[in-house]
């Protein structure tokens, strides 16, 4: 009983699936996507053939003329053309296939005619376009034989019975699979009907080889017409560098502000009080000793405050504890934290100073956040080594709800922290469900 | 000037503000008000009508030049109000803007100058009574700037020195004391400066200001 019920269920599932396949096959020839892919196959192939012909011809001309130096300029122009054709291909892929390929970097020639030639000859994007054109022409040739031929033969089979001739013109893939006898008028009788039915079948088969060829083309375009791995890397490095420059400019501004509002003001007030004392002492006849003592007390207090402010500021620029090593510096941080904090450090190798500094400021910032926002009763810091990476895990048992997006907009300490981490290709991850606990994981390369 | 000088202080650092109040009260000034930002300064001057305002250039909210902006507005609204700009840096552009049409009743001092209490108090009194008090640092920068543009080059080295002290607002006697020369010699230098700058004969006090402005303009 159970067995048969199961079998029925399976067959139901199978039925649903078969229905779905049948529906897909029935509809596909008439979808917009199929039309666009066919158009891309035809127009793209023609464009690639013309483009490759242009490139090969101009390159050949350039090579012939290379002794006259004009040759190099012609090859340069040829490469500029290749780049343009690549752009057109990419544009067409976006319009017809909805395939969005990222733009490679713009052509940025050096100044002067020689600079232009040099830049044009070294333009990786252009050479990759040439490579694409060469492969694409090969693909177009195969595509005509496998994908386009099915469409052509389908139309031929559909039209021939109605007066287009005795035997349909059939080439390419269908030619290989269809026995020639089937299409021959010698089979007599139902010949015309048979050819027509073959045409109808081919219409429903035709979209699929086209789709395969276009998919291969998509892969080629992604690999050769987008930015290459090197330029993607350069872009991300440029971005990281800009962030680092901004962050250090912001740091300098903060330090200037702290000095201006804090220490400098303290020292001016101190000098002013000492000036008053000096002038009072210079006039012994009208000396009010109590007043002088009060001024000296104020000056003394101001000097001590200025010393404390300077020390805090200096520690914010470079914590002296780091000179001993990360472990010692982190244990100072853990001890100073208002939330009781456990510390585990297990590092085999000593990171470079820049990494130690970033790790230190990450922990300092995260502990400050724990103290300010998390309402936690305990926190822990784990600092471990995984191959060439240093992993910091700062955990607290507070209220949670911190989000990585919190790091985004503001110029808070946390976003500065993220910039610092990204600047050395590090990663930062925050897991902080409402109710807590919050776990922040920072991975940094040991050497940067 | 009858009675004690009435002062309004605008300085965002509480430490310095309190220190200034203490110092000025000690020297028998009347501190009508001490505020921490430019808007409060505008209101306070309207209310208290002081003889002179001590204005920090950098104040909240942007910490750039709101003190200077407020000072320029106050100059337009309150004729005869002395303004002593008070800053930790000298910015030539600020000084030029401040002195653009009239140098009387204007001062621009580095904050360090309060350490020499008597000189500071003297400068403040001078500004309150319509005089000029420019920090030697301001003068050096302005002279540097005008030396580059050339008009100051018609003066001899000694005439430039005399002009610097004139710009600080010193009298001929004070200038003579500073260079240990006779007042008559100073008089001669001053006349030469007026002649070289082509300044009219009348109102010799006003001419001193014009002479200063002439090289500030250049």
The interface predicted TM-score of the complex, written ipTM, equals: 0.73
Q: Give A127's pLDDT tier (boundaries 50, 70, 90).
A: very high
> For residue A149, which of A168, A169, A173, A167 has the smallest C-alpha distance?
A173
- Mark whether A289 and A304 lie in a shared domain: yes
- Mark whether B173 and B82 lie in a shared domain: no
- Mark whether A220 and A81 lie in a shared domain: yes
Q: Does residue B199 register a pLDDT over 70?
A: no
Query: Mean pLDDT of all residues in chain A?
Result: 85
Number of folded domains that form chain B: 2
Cβ-defined contacts of B71-79 (< 8 Å, 24+): B71/B98, B72/B97, B72/B98, B73/B42, B74/B41, B74/B42, B74/B45, B78/B45, B78/B49
Q: Give B143's pLDDT tier (boundaries 50, 70, 90).
A: low
- Mark whether B23 and B100 lie in a shared domain: yes
Helix or strand holding residue A390 (H, E): strand A389-396
CATH of the domain at A408: 3.30.565.10
Q: Give pLDDT tens digits for B145-193.
A: 655 555 666 778 888 888 888 777 778 888 888 888 898 898 888 888 8
Give the phi and the psi of residue B142 in degrees, each rounded to 5. Answer: -65, -40
Task: Report the alpha-carbon distance of residue A288 to residue B1 in Å, rounded.
Answer: 28
Full domain range(s) for residue B94: 6-134
> Mean pLDDT across the stretch A125-146?
92
Number of folded domains that form chain A: 3
Is B26 touching A (CB cutoff 8 A)? yes
- Mark whether A345 and A294 lie in a shared domain: no
- Of chain A, the percentage scoring pLDDT greater than 70 comes to 92
Q: Is residue B36 part of a domain?
A: yes
Which pLDDT does position A411 carry in this prediction? 42
E runs forming strands in A288-359: 341-346
Among A186-200, A408-422, B95-109, B131-145, the range scoring the smallest mean pLDDT is A408-422
What are the chain A neighbours of B19 within 8 Å (beta carbons)?
A: 268-269, 272-273
> Mean pLDDT across the stretch A291-308?
91
Residue with tokens 């991850």: A429
Which pLDDT does position A409 carry in this prediction? 40
Query: Mean pLDDT of all residues in chain B?
Result: 83
Helix or strand holding residue A64 (H, E): helix A32-64
User: What global pTM score does this model have?
Assistant: 0.59
Task: Report the alpha-carbon distance of residue A419 to residue A406 in Å, rounded.
Answer: 14
Interface list for A 264-283 with B (CB within 8 A): 264-266, 268-269, 271-276, 278-279
Q: Does residue A130 register a pLDDT over 80?
A: yes
Nearest to B15 among A266, A276, A278 (CB): A266
> Mean pLDDT across the stretch A301-321?
86
Q: Give pLDDT tens digits for A355-400.
A: 998 899 899 888 888 888 778 889 999 999 998 899 999 999 888 8
- Mark whether A51 and A97 lie in a shared domain: yes
Higher-pLDDT residue of B213, A131? A131
Which pLDDT does position A3 carry in this prediction? 53
Q: Is residue B161 part of a domain?
A: yes
> For residue A235, which of A75, A105, A382 has the smallest C-alpha distance?
A105
β pairing state of B6-10 and B52-56: parallel
> For residue B39, which of B78, B74, B91 has the smallest C-alpha distance?
B74
CB A175 within 8 A of CB A167: no
B3: left (phi over 0), alpha (psi -120 to 50) or beta: left
Strand partners, B82: B52
Which pLDDT does position A189 carry in this prediction? 60
Q: How far does the CA of residue B66 sit from the closest CA of chain A (Å)?
A: 16
Interface list for B 169-188 with A (CB within 8 A): none
Task: Report the alpha-carbon distance of residue A325 to residue A350 in Å, rounded.
Answer: 8
Boundary (domain end) residue, out of B116, B134, B152? B134
Q: Is A265 strand, coil or helix? A: helix
- Mark whether A53 and A201 lie in a shared domain: yes
Q: Give A245's pLDDT tier (boundaries 50, 70, 90).
A: confident
Q: Does residue B204 register a pLDDT over 60?
A: no
Q: Is B189 strand, coil or helix? A: helix
What are the chain B neighbours of A272 within 8 Å (beta carbons)?
A: 19-20, 23, 114-115, 117
Is A83 touching B (CB cutoff 8 A)? no
Between the two ends of chain B, the Cα-to-Cα distance in Å is 34
CB pairs under 8 A between A and B: 47
């Amino acid at each position: 009983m159970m067995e048969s019920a199961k079998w029925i269920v399976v067959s139901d599932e199978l039925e649903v699936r078969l229905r779905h396949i049948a529906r897909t096959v029935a509809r596909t020839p008439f979808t917009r996507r199929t039309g666009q892919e066919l158009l891309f196959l035809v127009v793209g192939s023609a464009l690639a053939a013309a483009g490759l012909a242009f490139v090969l011809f101009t390159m050949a001309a350039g090579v012939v003329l290379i002794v006259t130096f004009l040759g190099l300029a012609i090859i340069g122009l040829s490469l500029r053309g290749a780049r343009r054709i690549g752009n057109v291909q990419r544009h067409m892929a976006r319009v017809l296939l909805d395939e969005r390929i990222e733009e490679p970097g713009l052509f940025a020639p050096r100044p002067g005619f020689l600079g232009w030639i040099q830049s044009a000859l070294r333009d990786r994007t252009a050479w990759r376009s040439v490579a694409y054109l060469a492969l694409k022409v090969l693909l177009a040739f195969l595509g005509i034989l496998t994908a386009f031929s099915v469409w052509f033969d389908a139309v031929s089979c559909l039209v021939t019975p109605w007066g287009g001739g005795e035997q349909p013109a059939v080439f390419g893939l269908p030619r290989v699979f269809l026995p020639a006898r089937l299409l021959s008028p010698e089979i007599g009788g139902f010949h015309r009907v048979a050819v027509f039915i073959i045409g109808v079948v081919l219409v429903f088969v035709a979209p699929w080889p086209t789709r395969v060829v276009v998919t291969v083309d998509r892969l080629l375009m992604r690999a050769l017409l987008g930015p290459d791995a090197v330029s993607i890397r350069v872009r991300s490095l440029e971005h990281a560098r800009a962030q680092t420059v901004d962050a250090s400019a912001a740091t300098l501004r903060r330090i200037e502000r702290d000095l201006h509002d804090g220490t400098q003001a303290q020292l001016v007030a101190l000098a002013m009080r000492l000036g008053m004392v000096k002038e009072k002492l210079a006039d012994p006849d009208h000396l009010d000793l109590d007043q002088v003592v009060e001024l000296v007390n104020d000056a003394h207090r101001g000097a001590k405050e200025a010393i404390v402010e300077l020390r805090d500021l200096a520690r914010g620029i470079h914590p002296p504890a780091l000179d001993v090593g990360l472990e010692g510096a982190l244990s100072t941080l853990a001890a100073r934290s208002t939330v009781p904090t456990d510390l585990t450090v297990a590092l085999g190798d000593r990171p470079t100073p820049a990494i130690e500094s970033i790790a230190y400021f990450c922990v300092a910032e995260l502990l400050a956040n724990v103290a300010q926002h998390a309402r936690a009763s305990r926190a822990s810091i784990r600092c471990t080594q995984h191959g060439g990476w240093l992993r910091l895990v700062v955990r607290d048992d507070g209220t949670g709800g911190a989000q990585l997006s919190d790091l985004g907009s503001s110029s808070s300490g946390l976003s500065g922290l993220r910039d610092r981490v990204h600047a050395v290709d590090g990663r930062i991850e925050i897991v902080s469900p409402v109710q807590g606990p919050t776990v922040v994981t920072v991975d940094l390369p040991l050497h940067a | 000037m009858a009675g004690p000088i009435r002062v309004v202080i605008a300085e965002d650092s509480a430490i310095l503000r309190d220190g200034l109040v203490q110092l000025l009260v000690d020297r028998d000034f009347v501190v009508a008000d001490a505020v921490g930002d430019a808007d409060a300064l505008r209101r306070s001057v309207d209310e208290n009508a002081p003889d002179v305002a001590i204005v920090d250039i950098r104040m909240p909210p942007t910490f750039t030049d709101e003190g200077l902006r407020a000072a320029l507005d106050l100059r337009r609204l309150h004729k005869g109000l002395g303004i002593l700009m008070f800053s930790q840096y000298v910015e030539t552009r600020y000084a030029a803007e401040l002195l653009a049409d009239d140098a009387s009743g204007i001062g621009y001092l580095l904050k360090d100058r309060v350490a020499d209490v008597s000189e500071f108090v003297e400068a403040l009194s001078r500004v309150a009574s319509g005089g000029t008090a420019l920090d030697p640092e301001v003068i050096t920068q302005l002279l540097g700037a005008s030396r580059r543009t050339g008009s100051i080059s018609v003066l001899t080295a000694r005439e430039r020195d005399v002009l610097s002290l004139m710009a600080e607002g010193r009298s001929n006697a004070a200038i003579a004391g500073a260079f240990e020369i006779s007042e008559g010699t100073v008089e001669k230098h001053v006349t030469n400066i007026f002649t070289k700058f082509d300044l009219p004969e009348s109102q010799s006090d006003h001419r001193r200001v014009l002479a200063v402005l002439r090289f500030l303009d250049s």
